[in-house]
């Protein structure tokens, strides 16, 4: 196999330990498993994911510096690496020949390391003083107030993208220029000639000018609105951004004040590098249309939408004062609370499924919980509608919580059974603190679940507790047709808990 070369300072790791090498589960060889993955076999993708996940997470944690590890989660890096791996495998886009477990391990390590390198460049650990990083779930910090909040938010992203596009030397010059250093002082710090600094500054000026020229072009109209009579409900000036509340791969969410009625709302903007991507724009527009159809106390409501001055759409959503389930600590809660959360999620899913809507990306990060225990589903960016054609490239999700059939084929339309798997994966997380693949091969008989089941026996009694393993096994079934069709009925034995 020919593995893409790593940087000179990153030699390939030693061969994987004997306990990982050799045939994968079921006696199939690596080549056979990969071939099955290409053909869309969900069990093959699940086997590959479970086989290497925990080892790759350990490797990623070793590669992240202490400072960078505070900003980047090793599991997120590996999940992103797997996502790229399965997409390349499925599309067969320049996929290298992979015959043995050693070959596959080396390839996965290469992809993971490149993900780490990309994240390192983006976060620029310890040196990026020009742009504040606010991670999802972290304590909220105010947006800069020296300029209008909307401008500050866009400026922050522009600086990030500008920095990422520059040569390493030009980045160093830009940072020091923003700190007020002269060319002579920069040259002294970088141990180079002043002429080198001046040339770097010229290149930075050219990069800024190119960006301004591109942004001066007329914005494209927002496409994908199926209702020709649907007009924007908000202008950008109607909203006073107050704090960043979260950030994903495609969007940022801010807490804001709706000046038209005084209501606190959440505003979801596409990131600037997604403005020109028709798939990202269509997904945001589709999310608005889906949320308009849903009216349920367990689903975040939509207040409207609008178009920025740059012709990019944004959503105005109900503001929820709470936390994501991703921050759940099972040691601080009773099992009755866990079952209450599960029941509320099932009720919201039943409402969506009754309208032919599949969420498509159920994970702890997409479930909000208020201080009084009320649970709401959010982020319908990957949702699909039964009565609308599936758009290739709109599928997505969170590996570790994604159904095996979607993991095997990222372009496969999500059915309600995929949400049932996501529900089971969230329940697994609430019981153990990790996804079903969180330690490489966790199953309903894992040590963590045996502890959870024992606690259930003590807290809920044997009659109820014995139903819990069966519920989890059914929801996490490998084949969609083996999962419960009616989640609320499956939860009925726990009504007295």
Is residue 228 included in any domain, yes or no? Answer: no
368 and 470, same domain (yes or no): yes
The 10s digit of each residue's pLDDT in 189-215 is: 899 999 999 888 888 877 776 655 444
CATH number at residue 281: 3.30.200.20
255 and 368, same domain (yes or no): no
pLDDT-derived band at 264 (thresholds 50, 70, 90) equals very high
340 and 272, same domain (yes or no): no
Is residue 139 included in any domain, yes or no? Answer: no
CATH number at residue 118: 1.10.1740
338 and 456, same domain (yes or no): yes
Distance of CA 269 to the CA centre of its chain: 15
400 and 488, same domain (yes or no): yes
Give the residue from 261, 283, 318 where a domain finishes: 318
310 and 333, same domain (yes or no): no
DSSP letters spanning 274-308:
GTT-HHHHHHHHHHHHHHHH---TTB--EEEEEE-
Give the pLDDT of residue 94: 53
The 10s digit of each residue's pLDDT in 137-165 is: 333 333 333 334 455 555 555 666 677 77
pLDDT at 225 over 90: no
Quote the strand ranges of 413-471, DSSP E: none
Distance of CA 418 to the CA centre of its chain: 17
0.85 surpassed by pTM: no
| Range 39-49 average pLDDT | 74
313 and 395, same domain (yes or no): no
Give the residue from 66, 95, 123 where a domain finishes: 123
Question: In whole numbers, what is the pLDDT of the chain averaged over residues?
Answer: 76
The 10s digit of each residue's pLDDT in 48-58 is: 777 788 788 88
456 and 340, same domain (yes or no): yes
CATH number at residue 388: 1.10.510.10
Nearest alpha carbon to residue 39 among 3, 80, 92: 92
- Indicate which residue of 258, 361, 379, 419 is catalytic: 361
Nearest alpha carbon to residue 102 among 161, 20, 213: 20
Give the pLDDT of residue 376: 97
Is residue 251 included in any domain, yes or no? Answer: yes
List residues bridging with 253 in a β-sheet: 246, 268
8 Å CB contact between 69 and 125:
no
DSSP letters spanning 373-426:
S-EEE---TT-EETTSPPPTT-----TTTS-HHHHH-TTSPPPHHHHHHHHHHH
pLDDT at 167 over 80: yes
Count: domains in the chain = 4
Name the strand (E) or helix (H) holding 302.
strand 302-307
The DSSP letter of residue 143 is P
Is residue 242 included in any domain, yes or no? Answer: yes
Is residue 223 included in any domain, yes or no? Answer: no
| Range 314-335 average pLDDT | 88
- C-alpha distances (whole Å) from 474 to each of 280, 425, 482 are 34, 11, 7
398 and 442, same domain (yes or no): yes
Is residue 225 included in any domain, yes or no? Answer: no
Domain of residue 309, residue span: 236-318
Nearest alpha carbon to residue 87 among 396, 473, 338: 396
328 and 314, same domain (yes or no): no
Handedness of CA 320, 322, 328, 334 (dihedral sign): negative
406 compared with 453, residue with greater pLDDT: 406
The DSSP letter of residue 307 is E
d(CA 346, CA 343): 5
336 and 477, same domain (yes or no): yes
275 compared with 18, residue with greater pLDDT: 275
Is residue 272 included in any domain, yes or no? Answer: yes
The 10s digit of each residue's pLDDT in 103-143 is: 788 888 888 888 887 777 666 534 433 333 323 333 333 33
Give the pLDDT of residue 219: 44
Tell me, yes or no, if 361 is annotated catalytic: yes
pLDDT-derived band at 433 (thresholds 50, 70, 90) equals confident
Backbone angles phi, psi at 384, to 5 degrees: -130, 150
- C-alpha distances (whole Å) from 413 to each of 31, 85, 291, 407 are 27, 19, 19, 11
Is residue 293 included in any domain, yes or no? Answer: yes
8 Å CB contact between 430 and 342:
yes
d(CA 60, CA 17): 17
pLDDT-derived band at 291 (thresholds 50, 70, 90) equals very high
417 and 385, same domain (yes or no): yes
Give the residue from 318, 338, 369 where a domain finishes: 318
- Exposure class string for 141-163: b at 16+ Cβ within 10 A, else e: eebeeeeebbebbbebebbbebb
Backbone angles phi, psi at 20, to 5 degrees: -100, -35
């Amino acid at each position: 196999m020919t593995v893409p070369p790593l940087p000179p300072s990153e030699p390939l790791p030693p061969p994987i330990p004997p306990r990982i090498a050799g045939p994968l589960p079921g006696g199939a060889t690596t080549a056979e498993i990969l071939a099955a993955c290409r053909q869309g076999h969900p069990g093959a993708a699940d086997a590959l994911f479970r086989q290497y996940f925990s080892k790759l997470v350990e490797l990623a944690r070793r590669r992240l510096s202490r400072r960078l590890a505070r900003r980047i989660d090793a599991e997120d890096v590996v999940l992103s690496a797997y996502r790229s791996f399965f997409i390349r495998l499925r599309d067969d886009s320049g996929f290298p020949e992979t015959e043995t477990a050693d070959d596959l391990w080396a390839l996965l390590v290469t992809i993971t390391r490149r993900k780490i390198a990309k994240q390192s460049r983006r976060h620029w650990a310890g040196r990026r003083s020009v742009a504040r990083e606010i991670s999802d779930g972290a304590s909220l910090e105010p947006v800069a107030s020296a300029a209008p909040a909307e401008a500050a938010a866009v400026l922050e992203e522009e600086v990030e993208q500008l920095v990422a596009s520059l040569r390493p030397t030009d980045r160093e010059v830009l940072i020091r220029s923003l700190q007020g250093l002269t060319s002579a002082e920069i040259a002294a710090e970088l141990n180079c000639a002043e002429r080198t600094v001046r040339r770097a500054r010229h290149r930075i000026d050219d990069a800024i000018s190119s960006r301004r020229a591109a942004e001066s072009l007329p914005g494209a109209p927002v496409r994908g609105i199926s209702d020709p009579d649907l007009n924007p409900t908000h202008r950008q000036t109607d909203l006073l951004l107050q704090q960043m509340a979260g950030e994903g791969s495609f969007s940022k969410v801010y807490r804001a004040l709706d000046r038209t009625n005084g209501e606190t709302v959440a505003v979801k903007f596409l990131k600037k590098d997604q403005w020109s991507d028709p798939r990202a724009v269509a997904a945001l527009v589709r999310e608005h249309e889906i949320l308009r159809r849903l009216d349920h106390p367990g689903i975040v409501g939509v207040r409207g939408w609008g178009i920025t001055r740059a012709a990019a759409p944004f959503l105005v959503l109900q503001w929820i004062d709470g936390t994501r389930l991703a921050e759940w600590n099972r040691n601080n809660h009773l099992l009755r609370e866990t079952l209450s959360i599960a029941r509320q999620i099932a009720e919201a899913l039943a409402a969506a499924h009754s309208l032919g809507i599949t969420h498509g990306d159920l994970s702890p990060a997409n479930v909000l919980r208020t201080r009084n225990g009320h649970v709401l589903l959010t982020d319908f960016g990957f949702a699909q509608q039964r009565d609308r054609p599936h758009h290739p490239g709109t599928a997505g999700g969170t590996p570790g919580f994604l159904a095996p059939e979607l993991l095997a084929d990222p372009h496969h339309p999500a059915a309600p059974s995929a949400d049932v798997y996501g529900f089971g994966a969230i329940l697994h997380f609430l019981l153990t603190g990790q996804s079903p693949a969180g330690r490489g091969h966790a199953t309903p008989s894992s040590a963590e679940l045996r502890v959870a089941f024992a606690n259930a026996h003590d807290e809920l009694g044997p009659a109820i507790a014995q139903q819990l393993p069966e519920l989890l096994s059914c929801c996490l079934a490998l084949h969609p047709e083996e999962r419960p069709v009616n989640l609320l009925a499956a939860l009925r034995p726990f009504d007295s808990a």
